[in-house]
Amino acid sequence: MGLGTVVVTGAAGSIGRVARRALRGEVGQLVLLDRVAIQQEAANEVVHTVDLRDAPAVEVALSGADAVLHLGGLPDEAPLPDLLEANVLGSHNVLEAARRTAVPRVVLASSNRVTGFYPTAHLTGPQDPVRPDGLYGVSKAAIEALGQLYADKFGLSVICLRIGSFEVTPTEPRHLATWLSPRDAVGFSRAALTCPLSTRFATVYAVSANTRRFWQLPAESELDYTPVDNAELYAAHITGADTPADPSAPQAGPYALPEFTLKHIRP
């Protein structure tokens, strides 16, 4: 599948900005959506200020697209009503707009936090049952379920990317396992946008080729991309990198602590 007209939601976000720069030279038209105003930077860009909770506006923006890279939503732990509205309802509106306007491919930004309670000694893959480390992880599990539904029931081709720790460089010990470099984020996004439409549904971990990673990389049958960066190259500059990881500790690290979620629950 080639790149024609591609919609990027959450285009003002950290991954959205990187994807925008990388993709605009490869597509016929790049349609950029965000709830904050963004400026057109290239002749083949079209920008829309859209709240993803506005289903009619989302449908208008997706009309005529060949694929959607859905990055919009709340990116971290928050009260559950906010996560359901921004992440789950917003994703439903994107999938429903894709169905109504016959967009064949939707790439959903999921998260490694869907499985954050597996221990670091466990090599976790998409076949493992979800074990979210918080309310944010729950919202992303729901998004994956919506993607599976729209693939099974309505014939969309949906790829879920369980995004790792997206940073310019790794800065803490956990990143030595979970880092997703900007270059690999673009590589996974491009591969998910262009893989054959015969791939009806797939969930893959978008993580760099870190020596210490505890997530499975996708097979070529799922997504034809092999990450190239490795957080281990930065280990010498990270305090605590030499401390052995507790094999029974949750992969989510501090995100798995009760207080990380309790502060978002009404007392």
Where in the sequence numbering do the catalytic residues fall?
Answer: 136
Cβ-defined contacts of 38-43 (< 8 Å, 24+): 38/11, 38/12
Give Cα separations from 113 to 14, 135, 138, 168, 264 (angstroms): 18, 9, 8, 19, 16
How remote is the C-alpha of 60 from its chain's centroid? 23
Closest CA to 206 of 233, 225, 230, 234: 225
State the amino acid at position 109 in one-letter form.
Answer: A
Six-digit token string for 190: 């491009």
Measured CA to CA, the distance from residue 160 to residue 76 in angstroms comes to: 17
Q: What is the largest CA-CA distance in the chain?
A: 52
Q: Dihedrals φ, ψ of 131, to 5°?
A: -140, 70
